Amino acid sequence: MDAGPLVLEDANPRRHPVEVPMPADFDDYWAEAEAYLDREAPDAQRVAFPERSGDGVEVAEVLFTSAGGLRISGWYTYPSGAERGSLPGLLLIPGYISDPPIAKSWAVAGYAVLSIAPRGKVRSRDVVDPGYPGLLVDGIADPRSATYRDFYLDTVRAFDVLRSMPEVDEDRVGVHGSSQGGGLAVAVAALRPDEVRCVSAGAPYLCGIMDSVRLTRTYPYQEIRELLHVHPELTDTIARSYAYLDCINLAPRVAAPTQIYIGLQDDVCPPETAYALADAMTSPVEFLAYEGCAHNAGLPWVASRIDSFLAEHLRPNSAAEREADRSGSNA
């Protein structure tokens, strides 16, 4: 039987240095951004989707208000019959060109899951649509008008909304994603350090952003190269803007245990940047590097490691345990 690619837990392909300047007003920038988000009440709305529910899983659409008053949507899935405050929560963040899945498999495993569609995806696309390619560079000349800043804030607001769901134990909520989802999982943990219990980040994007432009010839980072080809005079301005958004600068804020997994042949999110991310973190890090794997970051071989990591920190109950809890509460 094929055991899959080699897992190099201590591998280190530091072929190229990754350096991200830290703006002097970095903390002020994010405090201002969070204050901007706080101007809007979440006003969360939950709409059941019985036609999508079944086999022990409930499905609902959740809508809420985020930065700038924009309504954001996501799919909320959880085990049928869950008691109040009984489930760990898991926020799923999509990749750059992905829309959120209805995550029934995670619900079957005992999680309450919010699979989020930040601005520019699904229902908000009619209001915010930078196109593809475009999100990475939209408004980037000014870090305070960058669409991506508010995209980050959408994921933070989604985390807060998930914690407020009645089935969720607010002290057992984690974040998971790959590529863009991996980078933003780190960002959410950095901006909610006291609330996030664990982070699982595959092939993390948005790390060493300007170095990634140098190390790759693929999208989405190619968007930056194309912009600078037309406007080379903006190079320093754009580099400064990305320094505020770079997850390597956010990483020291993360307090939660973090799992990072990558493919050593990834030509979308350079492995060097993932190592730099891990180096910047002060929380415990499980780092998995898969030889022979590209942007899939070791899937499917890493899947069981993800399951184990999340279960260790979020402690979902089995279906039998959930049924016993329901029977006991009805006795």
Q: For residue 13, what pLDDT is reported?
A: 60
Residues that are catalytic: 179, 266, 295
Q: Which one has a higher pLDDT value, 115 or 10?
A: 115
pLDDT of residue 63: 96
Provide the β-strand partners of residue 156: none
CA 256 to chain centre: 14
CB 47 within 8 A of CB 64: no
Cβ atoms within 10 Å, residue 37? 22
d(CA 156, CA 44): 14
User: What residues have CB less than 8 Å from 186, skipping those under 6 apart?
Assistant: 199, 201, 204, 207, 247, 250, 251, 254, 258, 277
**CA dist., res. 96 & res. 178, Å (int):** 10
Task: Tell me the average pLDDT of the chain.
Answer: 92
> Given pLDDT bands bounded at 50, 70 and 90, which one contains residue 121?
confident
pLDDT per position as a tens digit, 289-327: 999 999 999 998 999 999 999 999 999 987 656 565 655
The vertex-303 CA angle with 52 and 101, nearest 5°, equals 25
| pLDDT one-digit tens code per residue, 253-262 | 999 999 999 9
How far is residue 136's CA from residue 100's CA, in Å, rounded to a whole number? Answer: 19
The per-residue pLDDT for range 193-246, each reduced to its tens digit, is 999 999 999 999 999 999 999 999 999 999 999 999 999 999 999 999 999 999
Q: Would you state the pLDDT for residue 17?
A: 81
- The one-letter amino acid at 91: L
Segment 172-189 mean pLDDT: 98
Ordered structural domains, the chain, with CATH: 26-326 (3.40.50.1820)
Say yes or no to pLDDT of 129 above 90.
no
